[in-house]
Amino acid sequence: MSILVVGSVAFDSIETPAGKRERCLGGAATYFSLAASYFTQVRVIAVVGEDFTAEQEAVLTSRGVDTRGIEHASGKSFHWTGSYLKNLNEAQTLKTELNVFERFTPQIPADYRDSEFLFLANIDPSLQEQVRRQMTAVRMVCGDTMNYWISGHAKNLARVLESLDTLLINDGEAKLLGGDPNLLCAARKILSMGPKSLVVKHGEYGATAFFGQRSAIGNGGAIAPFRSPALPLAEIVDPTGAGDSFAGGFFGHLASQPAVTLKAFREAMFYGGVMGSFAVERFGTDRLQSLTRAEIDQRFSLFREMSHLE
């Protein structure tokens, strides 16, 4: 099944304890697409500027990602500058140059409209909603957001949340959105806002899924939370894109399965962790460009061995 993703395709200038890179290919939609491309067909909606070259587009197309929905606008591409020197677990944003992203109005190519899975990456919730409303036939919608939208665009975000099957955010975002320092209480509050399920990413500690009463996969009954592990790594070269890679592995696996069952959802959590663990091993999207499905499945087996009693 095809996934349609809307989000940023951008340039990142990054400094981490492992080194420094200027203007690597980045953006949530880029990381998501590359990670999901190992599982299923991916179609991207984004905007780039004149500085986005054929070589950069080929990073996506060589992985089979459909880039016809990437609009080429006059001006410069979105450029994010960040540092992880103070804290590997949280990026410090040094500069955000929105450039062409400032006037982005997502256009959905006619050929994209039959996509059955929709991922709303972390962008302005009013844009997320625009895309969501036009995709009337989708089977499953996942979305991401961040503190900036939670604090400053709550009303628009609320409309997006109502229409989500799964919200994927991190601990801090969940506690802010749920208005509670206790994760379970925050999760319950968030599930009451609309999403049928919630996946909270804990970085090096894995992730937890919470399911609401409306969750289709539970046959109406209450489902216990589900915890997936993360891989202890001796070096995190570049944490950028780990969350989007998690989302790509998660949603990519779900879209590749015959049905969204609880078993498929659990496996998807593991594949999310697997893709996140690869993403941080090298700068930018380097590692996600060069994987094989065998490497992915081998690491999936390791995740299972790391967390299962037998």
CA atoms of 257 and 267, how far apart (whole Å): 10
Q: Is 104 left (phi over 0), alpha (psi -120 to 50) or beta?
A: beta
Stretch binding a second copy (CB under 8 A), from 51-59, 71-79, 114-122, 218-226: 218-226
Measured from the CB atom, the residue of 220 and 232 that comes closer to a second copy is 232
Distance in Å, CB of 230 to a second copy, minimum: 8
- b/e map of 154-164 (b: 16 or more CB within 10 Å)? eebbeebbebb
By CB under 8 A, residue 259 contacts a second copy: no
Q: Of these, 82, 240, 267, 280, which contacts a second copy (CB under 8 A)?
A: 267
- Is 42 in contact with 5 (CB distance < 8 Å)? yes
Largest Cα–Cα distance in the chain?
57
Measured from the CB atom, the residue of 113 and 263 that comes closer to a second copy is 263
Q: Which amino acid would we find at residue 34?
A: L
Stretch binding a second copy (CB under 8 A), from 102-110, 153-161, 204-212, 284-292: 204-212
Measured from the CB atom, the residue of 71 and 204 that comes closer to a second copy is 204
Stretch binding a second copy (CB under 8 A), from 56-64, 119-127, 142-150, 220-228: 220-228
CA atoms of 43 and 118, how far apart (whole Å): 10
Distance in Å, CB of 34 to a second copy, minimum: 25
By CB under 8 A, residue 304 contacts a second copy: yes
Residue among 173, 105, 171 nearest 161 (CA): 173
Q: Which residues are CB-neighbours of 290 under 8 A, at least 6 positions away? A: none
Q: Rule CB under 8 A: which residues touch a second copy? A: 88, 181-185, 187-188, 202, 204-206, 208, 210, 224-230, 232-236, 263, 266-267, 270, 302, 304-310
